[in-house]
Structures are given as structure tokens and as C-alpha cells.
Amino acid sequence: MGRKAGALYINPKKFGAVAKPCMPEMVAFLNCLALNKQNDDKCLRQKDLLVACTQTQKGKPKNAAKTINYHLQRLGRDKWGG
């Protein structure tokens, strides 16, 4: 079940296995918010862990060769001869 863009077929399941940094921290924070009726004062520990995780990810560059946009641009260049 992929999507077609012209003659290009994209398999979204292939990109679903990409590492998702800070996902456990975000899920823990959202669960805490749900349990405490959106009161983030009671979720300070989870919030601090999420902020710390996102701050450490901020300096890391993304690997452009693994993004779908990179592949779409590459295939577009090959197709149009650019």
C-alpha cells in the first residue's frame, strides 16, 4: 500500500522503521499529562527528561541520505536530466 507520485512508487512502511529519538520521553510526558488532566505542574520530571533529550538532539545533524525528500530529489534529477 504505497503512494504513487506520477510514475514513482513510495513505500511508506520502509520509512516507518527510522529511529525516532526522544519517543519514549515524549510518550511518558503525554501519558503523565493525560493522567493529570493536562496539568504539567505534576509532570515536571517527565517534562525535564523530554527537554533534555530534545536539547541533545538539537546539535546532531540529520543524515540526509536517509530522508525521503533526498531520494525524491535524487530521482527527480535523474528523471529530468538535471
Asked, for residue 77, whether it belongs to a domain, the answer is no
Residue 32 belongs to a domain: yes
Q: Report the pLDDT value the prediction gives residue 65, as an integer from 0 to 100.
A: 64
Domain span holding position 36: 20-55
pTM of the model: 0.54
Structural domains of the chain, count? 1
The helix-helix angle for 23-35 and 44-58 (nearest 10°) equals 160
User: Would you list the DSSP string of 2-15?
Assistant: -EEETTEEE-TTGG
Surface-to-core class of residue 53, CB atoms within 10 Å of its CB (0-12 exposed, 13-18 middle, 19+ buried): middle
pLDDT averaged per 10 residues, the chain (length 82)? 60 66 91 91 93 84 70 76 56
pLDDT of residue 76: 80
